[in-house]
Homo-oligomer: A and B are copies of this chain.
Amino acid sequence: MTRLSPRHPRYASLRIRARLAESARKGIVVPEGLIAHGRAEAFDYFLGERTTPSAREAIRAAATWLVNAERPVVSVNGNVASLAASSLAALQRVRPGLQVEVNLFHRTPGRAARIARVLTDAGVHDVLGVRPTGRIPGLPSDRAHVDRRGILVADVCLVPLEDGDRTEALQAMGKRVIAIDLNPLSRTARAADIPIIDELTRALDALTREVRRAGPRRPSEFDPFDARGALRAAQAAMARGLQRAGGRPRSEPRASPRSSPATPRRSRRTP
């Protein structure tokens, strides 16, 4: 494995990538999950790798919905388990009754069991979904598997890093969907009742803090949330980040000039 220096300007990202690569080798994360993570990295980079004010509002609203829900469930895939198992355990601790269900787009019994193991090792209780016992209507059968004690009967679903088809199918069943997704343009983000446009672990940790701070429980009260406004704010933040980024100084010094008999290396200074 690459030896990473903590001084490397991209140390945190590189560590996460290394962890995911290792999870891939262990069969916890699938290739498609790695590609999805790369996409998320790009979006987070433009966002400035921080929870925006708009995302914070979404997280507060989501915390209230989770507290007020009767049967809240978090859906967990390989990426989520690999990146955020301990954050999930912390969230479950502050919200007793929050179900955690292994729910995979690319399901095999082996993967489901391995992912459940990652969760329980991190302190998550009563992991559902290792054996599929229910079906989401409207999805191809290999994508429809759920636990009939969990997602099937949930009123509020927290779906990090979820697929667009499945997000829409959950809503079609009448569930309230809170998504965590770094892409404000994704179908998942656009379908969710509360889209949290933030990096997974940051969002879950902030959600845990907001749940702890939440006021008295008002069962089944779900205040409206301006999802479209949240998406617009996220997009605007990313557009600004993209424009700003070009002015940033290089993180490493330039290589020494080439000694070349041909045209002098003036190319960068040509106006």
Contact = CB atoms under 8 A, between A and B. Distances in A.
Interface stretch (A95-103, A117-125, A245-253): A245-253
Shortest Cβ-Cβ A-B pairs, 4 listed: A38-B38, A42-B42, A21-B31, A34-B34
Given A35-B17, A255-B172, A268-B227, A262 B222 contact: yes
A24 interface: yes
A187 B262 contact: no
Nearest to A263: B222
Interface size class of A (residues with CB under 8 A): 35 or more
A7 interface: no
Interface in A159-174: 164, 168-169, 171-174
A202 interface: no
- A41, A242, A250, most chain B CB atoms within 10 A: A242
29 contacts: A21-B30, A21-B31, A24-B34, A31-B34, A38-B41, A39-B41, A42-B183, A168-B252, A168-B254, A172-B258, A175-B258, A176-B260, A184-B246, A185-B248, A187-B250, A187-B252, A190-B250, A191-B254, A193-B265, A220-B261, A222-B263, A224-B264, A225-B270, A226-B267, A227-B267, A235-B245, A235-B246, A238-B242, A239-B242
This chain's copy number in the assembly = 2
A142 to B, nearest CB: 9
Interface in A1-54: 17, 20-21, 24-25, 30-32, 34-43, 45-46
Contact of A242 (B32, B191, B242, B256): B242
Given A171-B255, A267-B227, A25 B17 contact: no
Contacts of A39: 38-39, 41-42
A141 interface: no
